[in-house]
């Protein structure tokens, strides 16, 4: 997925000299191709993420299309005020890319783990929120972000979970769910985003459940959520993010008002990580490993 991000960024920059990449002193090989092919469109803003967002706002005002890259714990979390006031308030077309969302930087502790970024960005007016699950969704999200006339936050979680789509997906509509699997209508359905879509697919195949991916979290299309609720006996949401303010919250906000149904929210509970460790360890600690998620879904299916 990160390769798809890099490829899309290079392609956009070659086609449009106004596309700029701003990074906070990240020397990743991820940007080697961009630096090689578009050296005049690359800005290393240093370890000064708040200044970097302000710089991007100024560049957008004079006609550039900045892509601002950082770790999700810093872009958007550290820079939330600048995103709100410098960019979103004035409808500037800046794309903010938060890499390593969720527990990807597990060994670095709470300061580098980001399980609140969807909640924070969803609440900012005029800011679109994207959360791709695989390389195909990443390519579609990058195209959508570039075409947007407003600020966009693109969340990049665990990038090597494997594909959930067999081929390129159509252009993403605003807030639309993308169906990945069609299961039995007399059972609950799964709505997942980011890294948890792969988990949802693997579990759903065993239980013959429908799965929808949610690559666009804001604006979130109520018609698609209501249709998923009508097509199933209940919904399960899965996200590597807090259960407060994220995908599960968005789904329950819609269903409670427009299409009442039972919803099980699977995500990070209202607490910090207790220990540091590997990515797989952190998933186990928070009950988001495959076996723990499968047990909760099994119990939910059995309750109908």
Among 3.40.50.920, 3.40.640.10, 3.30.530.20, 3.40.50.720, name the CATH number for the domain at 178-302.
Answer: 3.40.50.920
Q: Where are the beta strands (DSSP E) in the chain?
A: 19-23, 42-44, 65-71, 95-99, 127-130, 151-156, 178-181, 189-192, 211-213, 216-218, 235-242, 263-268
**Separation CA 120–CA 141 (nearest Å):** 20
Q: Of how many residues is the chain composed?
A: 304
User: Which residue do the tokens 């969720």 mark?
Assistant: 102
Question: Which parts of the chain have pLDDT scores under 50?
Answer: none
Q: For 249-297, how does the pLDDT look when each residue is reduced to its tens digit (9 = 90+)? A: 999 999 999 999 999 999 999 999 999 999 999 999 999 999 999 999 9
**Do 2-156 and 178-302 fold alike per CATH?**
yes
**Separation CA 154–CA 141 (nearest Å):** 8
**Separation CA 129–CA 152 (nearest Å):** 6
- Supply the pLDDT for residue 176: 81
Burial of 118 (0-12, 13-18, 19+ CB in 10 A): buried
Distance of CA 99 to the CA centre of its chain: 9
Among 3.40.50.970, 1.10.760.10, 3.60.110.10, 3.40.190.10, name the CATH number for the domain at 2-156.
Answer: 3.40.50.970
- Supply the pLDDT for residue 27: 65
Buried/exposed 159-172: b ≥16 CB within 10 Å, e otherwise: bebeebbeeebeeb
Average pLDDT score, the chain:
95
What are the residue boundaries of the structural domains of the chain, listed by start?
Answer: 2-156, 178-302
Spatial neighbors of 27 by CB under 8 A, at least 6 apart, are none
pTM of the model: 0.96
- Supply the pLDDT for residue 106: 95
């Amino acid at each position: 997925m990160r390769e798809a991000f890099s490829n899309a960024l290079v392609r956009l920059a070659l086609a449009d000299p106004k596309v700029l990449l701003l990074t906070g002193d990240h020397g990743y090989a991820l940007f080697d191709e961009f630096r090689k092919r578009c050296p005049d469109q690359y800005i290393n803003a240093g370890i000064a993420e708040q200044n970097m967002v302000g710089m991007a706002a100024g560049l957008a005002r004079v006609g550039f299309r900045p892509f601002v890259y950082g770790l999700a714990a810093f872009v958007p979390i550290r820079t939330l005020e600048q995103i709100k006031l410098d960019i979103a308030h004035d409808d500037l077309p800046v794309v903010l890319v938060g890499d390593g969302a969720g527990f990807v930087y597990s060994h670095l502790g709470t300061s580098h783990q980001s399980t609140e970024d969807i909640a924070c960005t969803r609440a900012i007016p005029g800011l679109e929120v994207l959360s791709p699950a695989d390389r195909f969704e990443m390519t579609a999200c990058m195209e959508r972000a570039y075409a947007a006339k407003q600020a966009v936050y693109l969340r990049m979680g665990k990038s090597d979970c494997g594909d959930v789509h067999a081929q390129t997906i159509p252009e993403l509509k605003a807030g639309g769910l993308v169906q990945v699997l069609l299961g039995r209508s007399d059972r609950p359905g799964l709505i997942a985003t980011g890294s948890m879509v792969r988990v949802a697919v693997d579990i759903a195949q065993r239980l013959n459940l429908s799965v929808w991916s949610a690559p666009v979290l804001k604006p979130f299309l109520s018609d698609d959520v209501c249709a998923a609720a009508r097509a199933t006996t209940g919904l399960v949401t899965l996200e590597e993010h807090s259960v407060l303010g994220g995908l599960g919250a968005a789904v329950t906000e819609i269903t409670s008002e427009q299409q009442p149904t039972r919803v099980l929210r699977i995500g990070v509970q209202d607490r910090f990580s207790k220990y540091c460790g590997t990515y797989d360890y952190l998933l186990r600690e928070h009950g988001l490993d495959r076996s723990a998620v499968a047990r909760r879904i099994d119990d939910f299916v059995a309750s109908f």
